[in-house]
Amino acid sequence: MNPFPTARRLRSVLGVTAAAGLLVTGLVTTASASEAARSADSTTRTADSIRGAGSATAIPGSYVVVLAGNQSVAQTRATTQSLATSYGVKVRRQFSSAIKGFSTAMSEEQAKKVAADTRVAFVQQNQKVTASQDDPPWGLDRADQRDLPLDKKFEPSATADNVTVYVIDTGIYAEHKDFGGRASVGTDTVGDGQNGVDCMGHGSHVAGTIAGTTFGLAKGAKIVAVRVLDCNGSGSTESVVAGIDWVTKNAKKPAVANMSLGGGADAALDAAVKASIDSGITYAVAAGNDNSDACGASPADQPDAITVGATDDKDAKATFSNFGKCVDVFGPGVDVESVGITAPDATAKMSGTSMATPHVTGGIALYLSEHPDAKPADVATALVAAATPDKVGNPGTDSPNKLLFVGKVDPARR
């Protein structure tokens, strides 16, 4: 998946594996009669083709195994270790919150055998994921008024100082002045020693649009970096799912998560996002920058998330923005100015659905600040209902013609 900018075409390639960053320890079980029975039964199951195998973004020899059933943490660990022992694989990461399962390296033959085991729901081949990117900043100015021309003002209804925002991205440059000490590192699943610090600029730019003092919509929200993409903006199913798993387990609510990244269809990633939403965290995700149907990308195809397309300063769909029935709303995404990472007062301009998504996330934070007990489905309904209709030029086949609006809502328009 990519953070979705096109102006500078920052395509980050994330290999996605579905997993939360817990290493498996001990709990080795010996083969029992019941296991033998399961093994025998597995020979009668059809080894479905591995999900995501053969795709252009598939990572060779790398898989995420999603377990069947609703297992406890202890059961998940035991089943994981048993499967690893049975099929001769090494557990790389264990997931126990967003999904139940683990990531591992194995051959295609091993993967098919694991997929046929009755203890396994499915096996997803790890996929590359990338970040999307190609007076007030114009996007903020546009978000709080119904019509053009822009009035050079941004008047938010709240500061969202009771809301926590989780930026699942390339990390954050927390020392930037625009964050005012409200940014911190939650976790880093990349494992390259950066410890959550942004070395690309994408995540910091996104965070600035969400909650920067100058560039953000929700100017008082707490910002937590969940670094899942490397210095090139690339990651994997594994690193992204591990980040989602951490958020699901540790989120301080009311909370919203921003995912300005994506890739090809990925069942493990979609399952992790859905489970996290089911836990009470609202997700805004980028539609993608390929000028194609957003339903062909993950997590843009996740129906419980709020999927965001991009518009330019004339309210036309950005030429790069994905479209279609999986899109919920459009937001400003071309030449967006926000936080840079070269100095504490640096700025940068980027374009992409990666830039449109944080506008929506900021709007969600503002809504949650006044409705802290709202469930994700209620947040999505309210945000789409408040959006301005029939403003997006050429929104694309099957797209909703809805443009983000965070200003005062006229009761007559509800």
For position 31, which CATH number holds? 3.30.70.80
Percent of the chain at pLDDT above 70? Answer: 86
Position 222 pLDDT exceeds 80? yes
Residue of 86, 276, 321, 354 marked active site: 354
Q: Look at residue 216 and tell me if it is in a domain.
A: yes
Query: When comparing pLDDT for 23 and 204, which is higher?
Result: 204
Which residues 6+ apart lie within 8 Å of 53 measured at CB? 108, 125
In this structure, are 85 and 61 located in the same domain?
A: yes
Kindly report, residue by residue over 272-327, the tens digit of the pLDDT. Answer: 999 999 999 999 999 999 999 999 999 999 999 999 999 999 999 999 999 999 99
In this structure, are 371 and 330 located in the same domain?
A: yes
In this structure, are 42 and 96 located in the same domain?
A: yes
Q: Name the pTM for this structure.
A: 0.81
Q: Report the domain count for the chain.
A: 2
Kindly report, residue by residue over 240-251, the tens digit of the pLDDT. Answer: 999 999 999 999
Q: Look at residue 384 and tell me if it is in a domain.
A: yes
Structural domain harbouring 257: 130-413
Q: Look at residue 5 and tell me if it is in a domain.
A: no
In this structure, are 361 and 309 located in the same domain?
A: yes
Q: Look at residue 165 and tell me if it is in a domain.
A: yes
Residue of 176, 202, 205, 359 marked active site: 202
In this structure, are 120 and 145 located in the same domain?
A: no
Active site residue 169: yes
Helical residues (DSSP H) of 150-266, grouped into ranges = 202-211, 237-250
Helices 267-278 and 237-250: crossing angle, nearest 10°? 10
Residue 363 near residue 406 (C-beta atoms within 8 A): yes
CATH code for the domain of 334: 3.40.50.200
Q: Look at residue 59 and tell me if it is in a domain.
A: yes
Position 49 pLDDT exceeds 50? yes
Structure tokens at 354: 């990666």
Beta bridge partners of residue 307, listed in sequence order:
285
Tell me which of 100-109, 131-140, 328-337, 349-358 is least confident. 131-140
Phi, psi of 162 (to 5 degrees): -100, 10
Q: How far is residue 370's CA from residue 306's CA, in Å, rounded to a whole number?
A: 19
In this structure, are 40 and 175 located in the same domain?
A: no
In this structure, are 107 and 250 located in the same domain?
A: no
In this structure, are 150 and 93 located in the same domain?
A: no
Active site residue 354: yes
Residue 368 near residue 256 (C-beta atoms within 8 A): yes
Residue of 169, 188, 245, 270 marked active site: 169
Supply angle C-alpha 97, 103, 109, rounded to 5.
140
Kindly report, residue by residue over 121-171, the tens digit of the pLDDT. Answer: 999 999 998 775 447 789 998 898 899 999 888 888 789 999 999 999 999
Task: Select from 126, 148, 166 the last residue of a domain.
Answer: 126
In this structure, are 174 and 25 located in the same domain?
A: no
Query: When comparing pLDDT for 88 and 13, which is higher?
Result: 88
Residue 259 near residue 234 (C-beta atoms within 8 A): no
In this structure, are 218 and 363 located in the same domain?
A: yes
Q: Look at residue 290 and tell me if it is in a domain.
A: yes
In this structure, are 113 and 149 located in the same domain?
A: no
Q: Could you tell me how far CA 328 lies from the centroid of its own chain?
A: 15
Task: Select from 84, 104, 126 the last residue of a domain.
Answer: 126
Kindly report, residue by residue over 341-372, the tens digit of the pLDDT. Answer: 999 999 999 999 999 999 999 999 999 999 99
Task: Select from 91, 126, 161 the last residue of a domain.
Answer: 126
Q: Look at residue 7 and tell me if it is in a domain.
A: no
Q: Look at residue 8 and tell me if it is in a domain.
A: no
Active site residue 313: no
pLDDT, averaged across the chain:
88
Tell me which of 24-33, 106-115, 309-318 is least confident. 24-33
In this structure, are 136 and 90 located in the same domain?
A: no
Mean pLDDT calculated for residue range 15-43? 33
